[in-house]
């Protein structure tokens, strides 16, 4: 577990101690520090070690007091609420996390390896990943997470449990990705409830129909679903009515060790699917057509442990890009790739946002007024539904009326009512949202109703006048890593209150 400086606490104490006195006076007392630096510290920004130690001296507080654990144990505590003081232009650089929606299927797929260890790098430290690790452990898999290095070592040699524990599956949607590897390894798998963000109807019929076409028996009793196989799975022609993201991944993983050839027609095109397929091929699978809508998989009898680096998170990158745009900032996204953005890139550029790929870094600036936009969410390379709520918040900052259509999920406008509490003018009509801008956001107490809706509120909070309190902040931790540290580094004044959960998740 790493340590970091609690800049928020330092800021609070400095403000308290100086009271009404001017920063110039205080700077003179401390010595070798400018009033401007003190002002930055009061805004929760990072500072150099020397200034920090002198400040501790002046405050008469042991420096150790401000050192906190970088990644507090997310299994035993959760963020209750975030407090954001808005109105600053955000600038600097931020390291884009490993992709949540690649890490989760890759962690699950690593359970296919029956001998030896798999090393995963760039694993995002988010609640859903911690939940996936716990789920794997509950099946008998040895999982060693090196948090500081964001490395996860998986040894699934002793995987021997076939029931996916309800207390864990009910907390995250990607638990459904454990079906294929456990079915392959143990011969049967049972699951009850699958959790995740509440975005409306989220069926799993493509997954189960696909397993059945590969020769498995799928039986349903109330909430319980049992999938079993007699002998090896048999390759077959599979199709998806719509290109389901996890549906494609589950069937691709199931087909890797099936006998013969499997074709998956109308497969999802998201870059994360290609990342999972490349990981599987490195382990010895034979998947072709990667990056296209038709995957062909030749079954193999064994897969072996490998070392693999998870791709950067395009949704995380897109969110920070929108944050730069909303605050008229200038942010470098370290490790992000514009080619993963799909239509989101064009839409941001139409709004007047400048995106420049400089090697492995994207620089984002918003030099002038934001123009309004029309977007329709669509499977990749269409505009990502996972960026829609954040785009809704950004559209509020544009001068004019924007139109947003959500076609992937039937209830993904939770952000609208909360943004309206902050002064937005968003009207909803079925799958369409009409956003009238520009909004002068005003801080309010709002609730993160799902992960991305929560991110939209962070964005609005960053530009709002006054304090925004985001309740139910643990939703955000499900998919966004090191929230306080990364946003603080960009100059956002944000702090959190946590509560001990006492029990796992």
Nearer to ligand EPU, 207 or 213 (CB): 207
The one segment of 154-162, 245-253, 345-353, 441-449 that binds ligand EPU by CB under 6 A: 245-253
334 contributes a contact to ligand EPU by CB under 6 A: no
Nearer to ligand EPU, 59 or 177 (CB): 177
Provide the total of helices (H) and of strands (E) in the chain, helices listed first. 18, 25
247 contributes a contact to ligand EPU by CB under 6 A: yes
244 contributes a contact to ligand EPU by CB under 6 A: yes
Provide the Cα torsion 253, 254, 257, 260; round to 10°.
-120
* Marked catalytic residue, from 56, 197, 256, 480: 197
Under DSSP, is residue 392 helix (H, G, I), strand (E, B) or coil?
A: helix
Q: How many CB atoms lie within 10 A of CB 473?
A: 23
Nearer to ligand EPU, 210 or 443 (CB): 210
Among 385, 388, 474, 493, binds ligand EPU (CB under 6 A): 385
The one segment of 29-37, 200-208, 230-238, 257-265 that binds ligand EPU by CB under 6 A: 200-208
Give the Cα separation of 474 and 72 in Å (integer): 13
Under DSSP, is residue 58 helix (H, G, I), strand (E, B) or coil?
A: helix
Give the Cα separation of 243 and 266 in Å (integer): 6
Among 45, 347, 452, 486, binds ligand EPU (CB under 6 A): 452
Nearer to ligand EPU, 66 or 409 (CB): 409
Closest CB 104 distance from ligand EPU, rounded Å: 5
Strand 330-334 versus strand 91-95 pairing type: parallel
Under DSSP, is residue 65 helix (H, G, I), strand (E, B) or coil?
A: helix
Among 275, 386, 418, 471, binds ligand EPU (CB under 6 A): 386
Among 45, 83, 185, 207, binds ligand EPU (CB under 6 A): 207
- String marking each residue 35-64 x if it binds ligand EPU according to CB under 6 A: ------------------------------
101 contributes a contact to ligand EPU by CB under 6 A: yes
Closest CB 248 distance from ligand EPU, rounded Å: 8
Active site residue 197: yes
Q: How many CB atoms lie within 10 A of CB 141?
A: 23
Cβ-contact 300, 286 below 8 angstroms: yes
Cβ-contact 395, 427 below 8 angstroms: no
- String marking each residue 457-486 x if it binds ligand EPU according to CB under 6 A: ----------------------x-------
CB under 8 Å to 20, separation ≥6 — which residues?
Answer: none
201 contributes a contact to ligand EPU by CB under 6 A: yes
The one segment of 29-37, 99-107, 430-438, 489-497 that binds ligand EPU by CB under 6 A: 99-107
Give the Cα separation of 457 and 15 in Å (integer): 26
DSSP string, 26-49: HHHHH-S--HHHHHHHHTT----H
Give the Cα separation of 472 and 451 in Å (integer): 10
Under DSSP, is residue 342 helix (H, G, I), strand (E, B) or coil?
A: coil
34 contributes a contact to ligand EPU by CB under 6 A: no
CA distances from 221 to 48, 108, 192 (A): 61, 25, 10
What are φ and ψ of residue 179, in 5° steps? -60, -50
418 contributes a contact to ligand EPU by CB under 6 A: no
Closest CB 52 distance from ligand EPU, rounded Å: 37
Nearer to ligand EPU, 199 or 463 (CB): 199
197 contributes a contact to ligand EPU by CB under 6 A: yes
Cβ-contact 260, 235 below 8 angstroms: yes
The structure tokens listed for 441 are 């956001």
Give the Cα separation of 362 and 93 in Å (integer): 10
Binders in 164-193 for ligand EPU, by CB under 6 A = 173-174
408 contributes a contact to ligand EPU by CB under 6 A: yes
161 contributes a contact to ligand EPU by CB under 6 A: no
Cβ-contact 415, 393 below 8 angstroms: yes
Among 50, 57, 148, 205, binds ligand EPU (CB under 6 A): 205
Cβ-contact 289, 322 below 8 angstroms: no
Nearer to ligand EPU, 136 or 174 (CB): 174
Q: How many residues bind ligand EPU (CB under 6 A)?
A: 25
430 contributes a contact to ligand EPU by CB under 6 A: no
Among 66, 82, 178, 409, binds ligand EPU (CB under 6 A): 409
Closest CA to 351 of 380, 318, 381, 379: 318
- Residues of this chain that interact with ligand EPU (CB under 6 A) are 100-101, 104, 173-174, 197, 201-207, 242, 244-247, 385-386, 408-409, 451-452, 479
The residues that are catalytic are 197
């Amino acid at each position: 577990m790493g340590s970091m400086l609690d800049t928020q606490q330092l800021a609070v104490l400095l403000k308290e101690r100086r009271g009404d006195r001017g920063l110039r006076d205080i700077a003179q007392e401390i010595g070798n520090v400018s009033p401007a630096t003190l002002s930055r510290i009061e805004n929760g920004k990072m500072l150099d070690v020397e200034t920090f130690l002198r400040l501790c001296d002046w405050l008469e507080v042991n420096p150790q007091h401000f050192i906190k654990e970088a990644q507090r144990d997310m299994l035993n505590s959760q963020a209750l609420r975030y407090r954001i003081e808005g109105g600053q232009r955000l600038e600097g650089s931020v390291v884009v996390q490993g992709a949540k929606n690649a890490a989760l299927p890759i962690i699950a797929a690593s359970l296919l390896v029956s001998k030896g260890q798999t090393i995963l790098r760039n694993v995002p430290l988010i609640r859903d990943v911690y939940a996936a690790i716990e789920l794997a452990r509950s099946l008998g898999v040895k999982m060693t997470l090196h948090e500081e290095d964001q490395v996860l070592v998986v040894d699934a040699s002793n995987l021997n449990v076939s029931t996916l524990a309800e207390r864990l599956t009910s907390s995250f949607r990607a638990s459904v990705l454990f079906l294929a590897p456990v079915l392959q390894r143990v011969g049967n798998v049972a699951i009850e409830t699958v959790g995740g963000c509440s975005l409306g109807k989220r069926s799993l019929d493509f997954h189960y129909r696909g397993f059945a076409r590969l020769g498995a028996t799928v039986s349903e009793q109330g909430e319980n679903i049992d999938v079993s196989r007699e002998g090896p799975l048999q390759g077959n022609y599979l199709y998806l009515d719509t290109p389901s993201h996890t549906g494609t991944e589950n069937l691709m993983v199931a087909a890797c060790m099936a006998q013969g050839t499997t074709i998956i027609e109308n497969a999802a095109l998201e870059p994360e699917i290609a990342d999972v397929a490349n990981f599987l091929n490195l382990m010895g699978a034979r998947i072709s057509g990667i990056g296209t809508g038709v995957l062909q998989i030749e079954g193999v009898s064994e897969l072996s442990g490998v070392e693999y680096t998870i791709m950067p998170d395009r949704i995380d990158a897109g969110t920070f890009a929108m944050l730069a745009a909303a605050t008229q900032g200038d942010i470098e996204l370290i490790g992000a790739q514009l080619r993963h953005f799909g239509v989101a890139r064009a839409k941001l550029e139409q709004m007047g946002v400048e995106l420049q790929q400089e090697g492995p870094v994207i620089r984002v600036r918003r030099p002038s007024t934001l123009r309004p936009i029309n977007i329709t969410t669509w499977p990749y390379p269409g505009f990502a539904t996972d960026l829609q709520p954040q785009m809704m918040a950004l559209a509020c900052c544009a001068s004019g009326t924007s139109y947003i259509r959500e076609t992937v999920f039937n209830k993904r406008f939770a952000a609208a009512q909360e943004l309206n509490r902050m002064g937005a003018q968003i009207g909803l009509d079925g799958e369409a949202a009409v956003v009238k801008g520009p909004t002068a956001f005003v801080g309010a107490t709002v609730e993160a109703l799902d992960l991305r809706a929560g991110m939209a509120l962070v964005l609005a909070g960053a530009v709002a006048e006054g304090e925004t309190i985001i309740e139910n902040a643990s939703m955000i931790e499900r998919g966004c890593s090191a929230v306080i540290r990364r946003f603080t580094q960009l100059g956002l004044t944000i702090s959190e209150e946590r509560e001990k959960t006492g029990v796992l998740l």
